[in-house]
Amino acid sequence: MIDLSAHPLVSTDWLADHLTDPDLRIVDARWMGDGTTQERVATGRIPGAVHLDWQRDFGTTIGGIRDLLLPPDDFAKLMSANGIGDETRVVAYAHEDYSGAARLWWALRHYGHNQVAILDGGITRWIAGGQPLTTEIPTYPPAIFTPRVRPEWLATADEIQAAVDAHDPAVRLVDTRPPEQYAGLAVWTPPGSRYLEPGADAIEVGGRTPIRAGHIPGAVHLESSLNLDAQTWMYLPAEELRARAEAAGVTPDQRVITYCGVGISGSLGLFALWLAGYRNVALYDASWEEWATDPSRPVER
């Protein structure tokens, strides 16, 4: 039995050989910003996979901040309802460079569940390898999932503010968004980057508090999608991921905090750092959604 805490990235061949393992649950974590998620999933999924949408199923709004991770008890109910318990091994997959699988990996680790891995290359590689799909929606008996919160996996705005104010070299902020968002030319929306009007420094999205453009002062830029091979959508080798991080000034002795628009591509960036051997990592879950709408927080462009 493979220990997924030590092997957080599994191949399509491995998964094909273990589809019927009784202690394994597969999670289809695909999500499309254009609203076509359910249509895509309906055309076929990996046999036995339950579908969990990071935005609809394990995301919530708290204090006006969208797409935050469900609180512990609600998350536990969701896992239980999908047959994921304390002794369950979980393999999550998405497609192309979408980050839902990494989001679930981080969420489970944050809630103390280590037996979770990501399918390398996702459903894109699964299909390319001629593996089977099904339209059947599985059901599983409820399981007992016990959340054991690990606060070190979650960074807060106040923690980040303290590091920014102190110019703390022991903390490294990593912005994983596309370059136009990091540069302050656009902000994240579900369909993609929305560019500012000329001369503007903020944009209204959905009639809410205007979102300022830019990045957290001192944050380095490591776009999450560049952690993947653009042809196969597989993660780059660990040594390449580490070299990429170190070239940006991110070192394993630092506390590394990733963020993005709403904590999704930040999860992929965090997972890539984990593969590279970084262990003191955390996600700023509220991300730019919170920071940029709080006028007391500094923004750099």
Q: How many domains does the chain have?
A: 2
Q: Are strands 202-203 and 211-212 parallel, antiparallel or unpaired?
A: antiparallel
Q: Are residues 62 and 131 both part of a single domain?
A: yes
pLDDT value of residue 250: 98
Q: In the beta sheet, which residues pair with residue 281?
A: 256
3-class secondary-structure state, position 138: coil
Say yes or no to pLDDT of 208 above 90: no
Q: Is residue 57 part of a domain?
A: yes
Same domain? For 124 and 208 the reply is no
Task: Please tell me the predicted confidence (pLDDT) of residue 206.
Answer: 75
Q: What is the CATH number of the domain that holds 86?
A: 3.40.250.10
pLDDT digits (tens, 9 = 90+) for 79-131: 999 999 999 999 999 998 789 999 999 999 999 999 999 999 999 999 999 99
pLDDT digits (tens, 9 = 90+) for 146-194: 999 999 999 999 999 999 999 999 999 999 999 999 999 999 998 899 9
Domain boundary at 149, 179, 208, which? 149
Range of the domain at 258: 153-291
What separation in angstroms does the CA of 151 have from each of 72, 86, 111, 148, 155? 12, 19, 9, 9, 8
- For position 124, what pLDDT does the model report? 95
Last residue of a domain, one of 117, 149, 181: 149
Contact 174, 155 (CB under 8 A): no
The residue assigned the tokens 């509220």 is: 286
Shared domain check, 201 and 133: no
Q: Give the model confidence (pLDDT) of 216-271 as tens digits.
A: 999 999 999 999 999 999 999 999 999 999 999 999 999 999 999 999 999 999 99
pTM above 0.75, yes or no: yes
Q: Which of 132, 149, 166 is the C-terminal boundary of a domain?
A: 149
Q: Is residue 297 part of a domain?
A: no
Residue type, 41: V
Q: Please name the helix (run of DSSP H) or strand (run of DSSP E) that holds residue 79, with its range, or none.
A: helix 72-81
Query: What distance in Å separates the CA atoms of residue 63 and residue 297, rounded to the nearest whole number?
Result: 17
Predicted pLDDT at 158: 98
The terminus-to-terminus CA distance of the chain in angstroms comes to 49
Residues 12-69 pLDDT 10s: 999 999 999 999 999 999 998 888 999 999 999 999 999 999 999 999 999 999 999 9
CA dist list (Å): 290 to 42, 55, 60, 182, 208: 33, 16, 14, 15, 12
User: Could you tell me which residues are beta bridge partners of residue 227?
Assistant: none
Exposure of 269 by Cβ count < 10 A (0-12 exposed, 13-18 middle, 19+ buried)? buried
